[in-house]
Amino acid sequence: MTPNAEPVSQSRAAMVPDVGWSFSNGWQVLWKYFLELLLISIVLFLFSLPTWLSEAAEHVHIGAAVLLWLFTVIYGVLLLAPIEYGVAFGFLKAARLDRLDVKDIFEVFQNWANAVLANILVAFIVGVGILLLIIPGIVFACKLAFVPYIIVDRKLDAIQAVKESWRMTNGHALTVFLVGLLAIPISLAGLLCFIVGIIPAVMWIRLAFASLYHAVSQSAGAPPAPVAS
């Protein structure tokens, strides 16, 4: 599924890797690609259902509970987390005004093993940081926020992606944190809008993060992103 209009290239001069530009660009892109991004969000929701259903199961035998827990962990690590990376890539394509197709989220399977390994590595690093009085965990999460985009967009291996995200966020980690902080009131406002408002709110937040990565990648000397034909 692609927009009717031809994608318009963004000038580097117009891109500013800050909170304001990230949310502004995300807001404009949200309405340009709304149906495509909504469908991507629905696909992610469907892939998330098995974990939600297993976690909601109550009053089951202890053996069944253990099996459900194992299923949730394995399914989450091997399939749901990579799909999340693919969804991040779909939102990135929208943020940089590339042609967007819902099937783009499955690009992650071209680098699936590294998506799995990167997710495990990031979770471990952030987890250790949280154990160190929480604040280091927040710092690590901000420094590694770009890993999903790098894994799918540039197809680096897990360790390279972690190192590259750490490099790219030099001077931008606070901006990542502020984007995440602003996501809280936006989400609450979405919930207040008859609950369903949370859907465009979450889409806007994802676009803001993708927009920030796009702007930083242009200013940080990252290789140019491939242009969809």
Q: How many CB atoms neighbour CB 138 within 10 A?
A: 15
pLDDT attached to residue 228 = 41
Count of Cβ atoms closer than 10 Å to residue 6 Cβ: 9
Q: CA-to-CA distance for 136 and 124, rounded, in angstroms?
A: 13
Q: How confident is the model at residue 4, as a pLDDT?
A: 42
Dihedral angle, C-alpha 172, 176, 178, 181, nearest 10 °: -170
Residue 213 lies in a domain: yes
8: in domain: no
| Mean pLDDT over the full length of the chain | 88
The whole-number pLDDT of residue 161 equals 97
> What was the pLDDT predicted at 212?
97
Q: Looking at the domain assignment, is residue 226 inside a domain?
A: no
Q: What pLDDT does 7 receive?
A: 43
Confidence (pLDDT) at 219: 81
Domain membership of residue 102 (yes or no) is: yes
* pLDDT given at position 182: 97
User: Does residue 53 form part of some domain?
Assistant: yes
pLDDT digits (tens, 9 = 90+) for 102-120: 999 999 999 999 999 999 9
Q: Taking the mean position of all CA atoms in its chain, how far away is CA 203?
A: 10
pLDDT on residue 12: 55
Q: Which two tokens stand for residue 84?
A: 């999340």
Q: How many domains does the chain have?
A: 1
Residue 201 placed within a domain: yes
Structural contact between residues 95 and 207, judged by C-beta atoms closer than 8 angstroms? yes
Which residue numbers in the chain have pLDDT < 70? 1-13, 53-61, 63, 220-229
Distance CA 196, CA 65 (A): 32
**In terms of residue numbers, what domain contains 79?**
15-219
pLDDT of the residue at 53: 67
pTM (two decimals): 0.87
First CA to last CA distance, the chain? 14
Query: Domain for residue 140, yes or no?
Result: yes
Report yes or no on 101 lying in a domain. yes
> What is the per-residue pLDDT across 34-74, written as a single tens digit (0 to 9) for each?
999 999 999 999 999 887 766 655 566 676 777 888 888 89
Give me the pLDDT at residue 44, please: 95
